[in-house]
Amino acid sequence: MTDWDDGRTPPAEQTPTMGRLMEQLSEQATRLVRAEIALAKAEAAEKAKRSAIGIGLIAAAVVIVLYAVGVLIWAGIIGLAEAWPLWLSALVVGVFLVLVAGIAVAIAVSQLKRVAQRPETVDRVKEDVDTIKKGMHR
């Protein structure tokens, strides 16, 4: 008996049985699932590759920016050294940077404290559970 998987209509004497049709359905479903899994793996691998390239480029950019910031700080020190002694220029720029970092830390701590607070939803859910428990005990 010939498999008629190519879409042609078989002659009447070769019409597949219900059992054969179920077998073909099972085989085709298995093939389809395997093909979908293979496609999903290929797509995931491609996304991982592109993500790795993007992350690498961002890391390189961050390193370059860090060096650029160092150069700009040094340029600021040298610029102030035109009016003040070099040691005083470096001290002023250093104190300014410490102040900026301190402000950033203060803002970060306040943001983290907000996140650390328990959401109101938790309190409302606890109240609802307590209300339900009281109602069940009556």
Q: Per the structure block, which two tokens stand in for 65? A: 């920016």
Contact 74, 90 (CB under 8 A): no
pLDDT tens for each residue of 90-123: 999 999 999 999 999 999 999 988 887 766 777 7
DSSP letter (8 states) at residue 14: G
CA atoms within 13 A on the CB side of 116: 6
**One digit per residue, pLDDT tens: the chain, 138 residues?**
455 566 676 666 677 788 888 998 889 989 999 999 999 999 999 999 989 999 999 999 999 999 999 999 999 999 999 999 999 999 999 999 999 999 999 999 999 888 877 667 777 778 877 888 777 776
| Closest C-alpha among 22, 19, 12, 16 to residue 2 | 16
Domain boundary assignment for the chain: 81-138
Chain-centroid distance of CA 86 in Å reads 46
| Cα–Cα distance for residue pair 108/34, rounded to 1 Å | 49
